[in-house]
Structure 1
């Protein structure tokens, strides 16, 4: 598994000069995506809707709205 490219603007382009807020989205060579975000499984697990589930090895992470909106144009439709 390897990172192919960043999706959206870099943290620095989004105003994180200190490295304190660095959510990020990357496309992987297998077509999947990797996300750097704030781990929030404990806070959000009970909030998942009834038709959502999470495996024991999966975590809920939060990224900023700005991170996702800036990535939107680079996310493939298919």
Structure 2
């Protein structure tokens, strides 16, 4: 599996000049997406709605609203 491309703009264009907060979204060669964000599993796991769950190996991460909105143009529609 390889990173094919970034979705949206680099963190530097979103104000992360010092590298302190660099949420990011990448498309992978298998069509999946990888997300860099703040780890928040222990904080948000107990708050998941009843019809949501996560496997033990999965983590909940937070990305900024701007990160996702700036990536929107690069996310393909369902075909």
Whether the TM-score (by the shorter chain) exceeds 0.5 is yes
Q: Name stretches of at least 5 consecutive residues in structure 1 with no aligned partner.
A: none
TM-superposed CA distance for 1:69, in Å, is 0.4
Counterpart in the other structure of 1:59: 59
**CA deviation digits over 1:26-64, x for unaligned, max 9?**
000000000000000000000100000000000000000
Cα root mean square deviation, aligned = 0.5
Counterpart in the other structure of 2:48: 48
Q: Name stretches of at least 5 consecutive residues in structure 2 with no aligned partner.
A: none
TM-score (normalised: structure 2) = 0.97
Aligned length: 78
Instruction: Indicate yes or no: 2:15 matched with 1:2.
Output: no
TM-superposed CA distance for 1:74, in Å, is 0.7
Corresponding residue SS for 1:42: helix
